[in-house]
Amino acid sequence: MKKWLHNYIHCGLLGWFLEMIFTAFHAFRRRDLRLPCTTSLWMFPIYGLGALFAPLCRLLRRFPVMIRGLVYTCLIFTGEYLTGTWLNRRGLCPWNYERSRWNLSHVIRLDYAPCWFATGLLFERLLAENEKD
């Protein structure tokens, strides 16, 4: 349980950090050099669920990176859909992708697949490093 909590906190913090970099990059693209970044407290527990990848990472370690990344992308999309739908029903969802033509139910953007691919591999790396501790 201690190891899982350790992974949960690390995945939550990594996810928050990545989201801040991602939103600051979008500000840069809009030429807002203040680089404001946004996230929500709801995102920490959602990103923390990346800790659930730990057993899967061990199972997939011998597979090519493309397979591992695609598996993680599908799982992240599933988690994003489930948590986004749950939060939407309560009027609490911090993201809304209705303006994107690549959205599914306003809570998933299929064009973000490369970002989730990379995020899944970063979580894999983080979880592998935590295994060594």
Q: How far apart are CA 90 and CA 50, in angstroms?
A: 23
Does position 131 have pLDDT exceeding 90, yes or no? Answer: no
Distances, alpha carbon 44 to alpha carbons 10, 14, 104, 129, in Å: 10, 9, 22, 20
User: Residue 71's CB: how many other CB atoms inside 10 A?
Assistant: 19
Is the Cβ–Cβ distance between 111 and 102 less than 8 Å? yes
Yes or no: say if 38 and 30 are a contact pair by the CB < 8 Å rule.
no
Q: How is the chain split into domains, by residue range?
A: 2-132
> pLDDT tens-digit profile of 48-68?
999 999 999 999 999 999 999
Q: Which pLDDT score, from 0 to 100, does residue 133 have?
A: 65
Task: Give the model confidence (pLDDT) of 72-110 as tens digits.
Answer: 999 999 999 999 999 999 999 999 999 999 999 999 999
